[in-house]
Amino acid sequence: MLKIYGVYKSRATRILWLMEELGAPFELVPVIQAYKLKDPMAADARLNTRSPEFLAVNPMGSIPTIEDDGLVLNESLAQTIHVAKTIGGPIAPKDAAEDALTLQWSLFAATSIETEALKISMANVSGKLSTPEGQAEAAEVAKMLARPLGVLEKHFTQHDYAVGGRFTVADINLAEVVRYAQTYQPLFDAHPKTAEWLARVQGRPGFKAMWEKRLAEAE
């Protein structure tokens, strides 16, 4: 059985959303981020990203990590693609061309969107986004995201989904990165087709089930 190390309030949402879509069994090993603990190295500390037993699995100390029949993967976007292809079905790439496009969209999200989008997410979590200063900073970040989201806007003007005209793992990988910027509405007002696509994929029962568990998860 697939083993997932992590918690819902982390990048593990990517693989956990996928597992909801697939309806496949898995074992979740709760590993919390070390920065959330007062003393992550205390003898009674929860299993966390600095715990020696977790570092033996993933020396980078990042979550999520998965173990699948002896294979250990530490990068979340690679995890979802691997599991989708292993289990198969319409959520997986159907041929080499779709496989390449899935990789392209996933890497595009990671290299062209995630760094700037995370700035908006962090400002929202800290409460700064609700201040005039935070809004001004988000507006500057939005300028940096205008080009990659323009690419998405052009694509989703012509297509309902990222690859193959259907919902696939490519949509999960892409949406889970774009989501970081979702709290800055002007960015999505300027890219309405991208906003429609994001609402479409987040409206799926699989995403809703994952998100409900994330919201219910204790810190």
Residue 218: per-residue pLDDT? 82
Bridge partners of 66?
4, 73
111 & 161 share domain: yes
Domain boundary among 88, 112, 146: 88
Is 213 part of any domain? no
Q: Are residues 104 and 139 in the same domain?
A: yes
Q: How far apart are CA 80 and CA 125, in angstroms?
A: 26
Reported pTM = 0.96
| Residue 12 belongs to domain with CATH number | 3.40.30.10
Nearest to 79 by CA among 115, 106, 116, 111: 106
**From its phi and psi, is residue 127 left (phi > 0), alpha (psi between -120 and 50) or beta?**
left
pLDDT in tens, the chain (219 residues): 999 999 999 999 999 999 999 999 999 999 999 999 999 999 999 999 999 999 999 999 999 999 999 999 999 999 999 999 999 899 999 999 999 999 999 999 999 999 999 999 999 999 999 999 999 999 999 999 999 999 999 999 999 999 999 999 999 999 999 999 999 999 999 999 999 999 999 999 999 999 999 999 987
Q: What are phi and psi of 74, to 5 degrees?
A: -110, -10
- Interacting residues of 178 by C-beta distance below 8 A, sequence separation 6+: 109, 113, 117, 149, 152, 194, 198
Task: Report the C-alpha gap between 19 and 40 in whole angstroms.
Answer: 29
The reply to whether 132 and 63 lie within a common domain is: no
- C-alpha–C-alpha distance, residues 213 and 92, integer Å: 24
- pLDDT in the model for residue 138: 96
Say whether both 102 and 179 belong to one domain: yes
How many Å apart are CA 43 and CA 150, to the nearest integer?
Answer: 50
Domain membership of residue 216 (yes or no) is: no
Tell me, yes or no, whether 142 and 62 share the same domain. no
Task: Note the pLDDT of residue 129.
Answer: 96
Boundaries of domain holding 22:
2-88
Cβ-in-10-Å burial (0-12, 13-18, 19+) of 86 comes to middle
CATH number (domain holding residue 146) = 1.20.1050.10
